[in-house]
A = this chain, B = another copy of it.
Amino acid sequence: MEKYFEKLKNNGFKLTPRRRAIIDLFVSCGSHLSPEMVWHKLKLKFKRCGLPGVYRNLEALLKCGILVRIQQADRKKHYGLCVSGDNHHHHITCIKCGKVEDIKDCAIRGIDKIKGYKIVSHFMQVNGICASCRE
Protein backbone atom coordinates (compact mmCIF):
# COMPACT_ATOMS: atom_id res chain seq x y z
CA MET A 1 0.00 0.00 0.00
CA GLU A 2 2.71 2.48 1.06
CA LYS A 3 4.77 1.68 -2.02
CA TYR A 4 1.87 2.73 -4.24
CA PHE A 5 1.57 6.07 -2.45
CA GLU A 6 5.30 6.52 -2.99
CA LYS A 7 4.90 5.90 -6.69
CA LEU A 8 2.18 8.53 -6.91
CA LYS A 9 4.37 11.10 -5.19
CA ASN A 10 7.44 10.26 -7.23
CA ASN A 11 5.43 10.97 -10.35
CA GLY A 12 4.07 14.27 -9.11
CA PHE A 13 0.55 13.05 -8.42
CA LYS A 14 -1.43 13.89 -5.32
CA LEU A 15 -2.77 11.23 -3.01
CA THR A 16 -6.51 11.74 -3.08
CA PRO A 17 -9.34 9.70 -1.52
CA ARG A 18 -10.41 8.57 -5.00
CA ARG A 19 -6.96 7.24 -5.81
CA ARG A 20 -6.63 5.56 -2.46
CA ALA A 21 -9.99 3.85 -3.07
CA ILE A 22 -9.07 2.77 -6.58
CA ILE A 23 -5.81 1.23 -5.41
CA ASP A 24 -7.64 -0.49 -2.53
CA LEU A 25 -10.13 -1.85 -5.00
CA PHE A 26 -7.52 -3.40 -7.24
CA VAL A 27 -5.55 -4.80 -4.30
CA SER A 28 -8.60 -6.44 -2.77
CA CYS A 29 -10.21 -7.79 -5.94
CA GLY A 30 -6.98 -9.07 -7.47
CA SER A 31 -8.34 -8.97 -11.01
CA HIS A 32 -8.60 -6.61 -13.94
CA LEU A 33 -11.41 -4.08 -14.21
CA SER A 34 -12.82 -1.75 -16.83
CA PRO A 35 -13.34 1.95 -16.03
CA GLU A 36 -17.06 1.37 -15.72
CA MET A 37 -16.59 -1.48 -13.23
CA VAL A 38 -14.31 0.72 -11.15
CA TRP A 39 -16.88 3.50 -11.29
CA HIS A 40 -19.69 1.25 -10.03
CA LYS A 41 -17.57 0.20 -7.06
CA LEU A 42 -16.54 3.77 -6.24
CA LYS A 43 -20.10 5.00 -6.26
CA LEU A 44 -20.81 2.77 -3.28
CA LYS A 45 -18.20 4.69 -1.30
CA PHE A 46 -18.58 8.22 -2.69
CA LYS A 47 -22.00 9.45 -3.56
CA ARG A 48 -20.64 12.10 -5.89
CA CYS A 49 -18.28 10.40 -8.25
CA GLY A 50 -17.80 11.04 -11.95
CA LEU A 51 -16.86 8.57 -14.64
CA PRO A 52 -14.45 11.01 -16.33
CA GLY A 53 -12.55 11.20 -13.07
CA VAL A 54 -12.23 7.44 -13.03
CA TYR A 55 -10.77 7.49 -16.52
CA ARG A 56 -8.29 10.19 -15.54
CA ASN A 57 -7.25 8.36 -12.40
CA LEU A 58 -6.77 5.04 -14.12
CA GLU A 59 -4.48 6.76 -16.61
CA ALA A 60 -2.63 8.45 -13.75
CA LEU A 61 -2.09 5.12 -12.01
CA LEU A 62 -0.95 3.66 -15.31
CA LYS A 63 1.63 6.44 -15.70
CA CYS A 64 2.93 5.70 -12.20
CA GLY A 65 3.40 2.04 -13.04
CA ILE A 66 0.85 1.01 -10.44
CA LEU A 67 -1.57 -0.37 -13.02
CA VAL A 68 -1.09 -1.95 -16.43
CA ARG A 69 -3.37 -1.84 -19.39
CA ILE A 70 -4.72 -5.26 -20.33
CA GLN A 71 -5.61 -5.57 -24.00
CA GLN A 72 -8.79 -7.58 -24.37
CA ALA A 73 -10.71 -8.59 -27.48
CA ASP A 74 -13.55 -6.19 -26.71
CA ARG A 75 -13.16 -2.51 -27.39
CA LYS A 76 -12.98 -1.54 -23.73
CA LYS A 77 -10.03 -0.51 -21.69
CA HIS A 78 -9.02 -2.89 -18.92
CA TYR A 79 -6.60 -2.24 -16.13
CA GLY A 80 -4.99 -4.47 -13.57
CA LEU A 81 -2.35 -4.32 -10.84
CA CYS A 82 0.99 -5.26 -12.27
CA VAL A 83 3.40 -7.12 -10.06
CA SER A 84 6.34 -7.21 -12.44
CA GLY A 85 6.60 -3.46 -12.77
CA ASP A 86 8.58 -2.18 -15.70
CA ASN A 87 10.04 -5.46 -16.94
CA HIS A 88 8.65 -6.40 -20.31
CA HIS A 89 6.05 -9.10 -20.03
CA HIS A 90 2.53 -10.06 -21.02
CA HIS A 91 -0.58 -11.20 -19.23
CA ILE A 92 -2.78 -14.23 -18.91
CA THR A 93 -6.33 -13.57 -17.78
CA CYS A 94 -8.85 -15.99 -16.38
CA ILE A 95 -12.10 -15.72 -18.32
CA LYS A 96 -14.08 -16.93 -15.28
CA CYS A 97 -12.75 -14.87 -12.37
CA GLY A 98 -10.85 -12.14 -14.22
CA LYS A 99 -7.60 -12.76 -12.37
CA VAL A 100 -4.53 -11.42 -14.17
CA GLU A 101 -1.10 -13.01 -13.99
CA ASP A 102 2.20 -12.21 -15.60
CA ILE A 103 3.76 -14.20 -18.38
CA LYS A 104 7.46 -13.59 -18.09
CA ASP A 105 8.61 -15.42 -21.20
CA CYS A 106 8.03 -13.37 -24.28
CA ALA A 107 8.31 -15.05 -27.65
CA ILE A 108 9.27 -11.81 -29.37
CA ARG A 109 11.80 -10.61 -26.85
CA GLY A 110 15.33 -10.87 -28.10
CA ILE A 111 14.21 -11.28 -31.68
CA ASP A 112 14.81 -8.03 -33.52
CA LYS A 113 13.58 -9.04 -36.96
CA ILE A 114 10.76 -11.13 -38.36
CA LYS A 115 10.40 -11.45 -42.14
CA GLY A 116 12.83 -8.58 -42.62
CA TYR A 117 10.77 -6.22 -40.48
CA LYS A 118 12.54 -4.19 -37.81
CA ILE A 119 10.27 -4.88 -34.84
CA VAL A 120 9.00 -1.74 -33.16
CA SER A 121 6.26 -2.98 -30.85
CA HIS A 122 4.05 -5.92 -30.15
CA PHE A 123 1.40 -7.05 -27.79
CA MET A 124 0.06 -10.39 -26.76
CA GLN A 125 -2.81 -11.40 -24.56
CA VAL A 126 -3.69 -14.90 -23.44
CA ASN A 127 -7.04 -15.88 -22.01
CA GLY A 128 -7.73 -19.09 -20.19
CA ILE A 129 -9.27 -20.69 -17.13
CA CYS A 130 -7.21 -20.71 -13.98
CA ALA A 131 -6.64 -23.80 -11.85
CA SER A 132 -9.08 -22.83 -9.09
CA CYS A 133 -11.86 -21.95 -11.54
CA ARG A 134 -11.49 -25.45 -13.01
CA GLU A 135 -12.17 -26.84 -9.47
Q: Are A117 and B122 in contact (CB under 8 A)?
A: no
- Give the oligomeric copy count: 2
Nearest residue (CB) in B for A113 is B128
Tally of contact residues, A, Cβ under 8 A: 30
Task: Say whether A75 faces chain B, with CB atoms less than 8 Å apart.
Answer: yes
Q: Out of B103, B108, B128, which one reaches A118, CB within 8 Å? A: B128
Q: Are B120 and A95 in contact (CB under 8 A)?
A: yes
Question: Could you give 6 example pairs across A and B, Cβ below 8 Å?
Answer: A71-B71, A92-B117, A118-B128, A119-B127, A119-B128, A120-B129
Name A residues whose Cβ lies closer than 8 Å to a Cβ of B.
71, 73, 75, 92, 94-95, 101, 103, 107-108, 113-131, 134
> Chain A interface mostly helix, strand, loop or mixed?
strand
CA distance A119 to B101 in the complex (A): 13
Contacts A120-B129, A122-B126 given; does A92 touch B115 at CB 8 Å: yes
CA distance A134 to B121 in the complex (A): 16
Q: Are A127 and B121 in contact (CB under 8 A)?
A: yes
